């Protein structure tokens, strides 16, 4: 949108534009042993073996890589979780020269969200968005990417969990954010509809902009899915709809009239959902929760979840 004038420090954005590098685990070998002989890395990371391969040819038990018998250094990358055992072709039996590399899935924050300040901004007023979600469970968040103009493109990157921008004219903009960890893995996307009031307008006690019109989108927090039961807290009265999509199909949907406070929606399986989700099976799906209040203000939250049919 042409009305957006970013206030992010440009030099910080440029420095962070390059993707984060995968971590590398060094493994040395000599004197009939690997150091370390048992180690754990994350998907997307690498392991570099250093030593004399002619003296100690490296063989992977599962056959995932060719035998390395020349040179003194070799780097291997791993995109799939699993246990990768390896050994020296010449000394595994006589000297017990063996090792194992455990690759675990890179995990993401369980809850991804952000706040808006001021909650009811006006045109020409700086608006700050601040990350309020969880930390990365198995690493460090190093970059936050923002779609501040609502066009679906994450055009702004910041080194800390905050971004500031100014909207020149009244509008309702769906701002999106995702967090990226030190393995360059992006989290689920959090989204909020932000309504910009006319310049000089002020929110009244009821939360509306100038003229008494309600321009504040409802908010959903503490969103949890257990089986096919979705719960959340709504900031105001609103209608709520929720859908689950997996493998390109809608597998479950539900709706409710949400009062302020804790709301529960029982999701009902579609025909495709009954096929993809037999009893007891877990499937990774995209959850979309939309709230719409009486004034027509709408907010949508999306996140990746694992759903299990009871």
| Model confidence band, residue 258 (pLDDT cutoffs 50, 70, 90) | low
The gap between the terminal CA atoms of the chain, to the nearest Å, is: 45
Q: Average pLDDT of 212-230?
A: 78
Is the pLDDT at 278 greater than 70? The verdict is yes
Assign domain 24-104 to its CATH superfamily.
Cupredoxins -  blue copper proteins (2.60.40.420)
pLDDT surpassing 60 at residue 205: no
Q: Which residues of 22-52 are buried (b: 16+ CB within 10 A; e: fewer)?
A: beebebebeeebbeeeebebbbbbebebbbe
More confident residue, 249 or 148: 148
Q: pLDDT tens digits, residue range 77-128?
A: 988 889 999 999 999 999 999 999 999 877 788 889 999 999 889 998 999 9
Residue pair 93/63 in contact by the 8 Å Cβ criterion: no
> For residue range 25-49, what is the model confidence (pLDDT) as tens digits?
999 999 999 999 999 888 878 999 9
Output 310 or 6, whichever has higher pLDDT: 310
Is the pLDDT at 17 greater than 80? The verdict is no
The residue ranges of every structural domain in the chain are: 24-104, 218-310
Taking the CA atoms of the chain, what radius of gyration do you get in angstroms? 25
Domain 218-310 has CATH 3.30.2080.10: no
Query: What's the mean pLDDT when you consider all of the chain?
Result: 83
24-104 with 218-310: one CATH topology?
yes
Q: What is the pTM of this model?
A: 0.42
pLDDT at 166: 93
Across 148-174, average pLDDT? 92
* pLDDT the model gives residue 11: 34
Taking phi first (over 0 means left), then psi (-120 to 50 degrees means alpha), and beta for anything else, what does residue 19 get? beta
- Tell me the C-alpha distance between 29 and 38, whole Å: 13
With a cut of 90, say whether residue 199 has pLDDT above it.
no
Write out pLDDT tens, residues 56-81: 999 999 888 999 999 999 999 988 88
Report pLDDT for 214. 59
């Amino acid at each position: 949108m042409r009305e957006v004038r970013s206030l992010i420090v440009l030099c910080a954005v440029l420095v962070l534009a390059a993707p984060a590098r995968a971590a590398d685990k060094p493994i040395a070998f000599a004197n009939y042993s690997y150091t370390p002989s048992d180690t754990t890395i994350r998907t997307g990371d690498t392991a570099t073996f250093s030593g004399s391969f002619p003296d100690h040819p490296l063989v992977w038990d599962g056959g995932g890589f060719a035998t390395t018998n020349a040179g003194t250094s070799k780097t291997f990358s791993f995109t799939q979780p699993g246990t990768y055992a390896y050994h020296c072709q010449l000394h595994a039996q006589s000297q017990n020269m063996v090792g194992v590399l455990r690759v675990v899935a890179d995990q993401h924050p369980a809850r991804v969200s952000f706040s808006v300040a001021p909650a009811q901004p006006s045109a020409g007023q700086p608006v700050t968005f601040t990350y309020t979600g969880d930390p990365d469970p198995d690493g460090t968040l190093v970059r936050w990417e923002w779609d501040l103009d609502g066009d679906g493109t994450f055009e702004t990157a910041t080194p800390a969990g905050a971004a500031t921008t100014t909207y020149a004219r009244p509008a309702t903009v769906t701002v999106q954010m995702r967090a990226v960890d030190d393995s360059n893995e992006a989290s689920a996307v959090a989204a909020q509809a932000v309504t910009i009031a006319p310049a000089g307008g002020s929110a009244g006690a009821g939360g509306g902009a100038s003229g008494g019109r309600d321009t504040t989108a409802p908010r959903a927090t503490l969103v949890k899915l257990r089986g096919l039961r979705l719960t959340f807290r709504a900031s105001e009265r609103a209608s709520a709809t929720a859908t689950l999509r997996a493998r390109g199909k809608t597998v479950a949907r539900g709706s409710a009239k949400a009062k302020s406070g804790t709301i529960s929606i029982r999701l009902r399986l579609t025909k495709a959902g009954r096929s993809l989700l037999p009893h007891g099976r877990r499937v990774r799906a995209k959850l979309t929760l939309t709230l719409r209040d009486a004034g027509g203000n709408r907010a949508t939250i999306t996140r990746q979840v694992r759903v299990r049919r009871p």
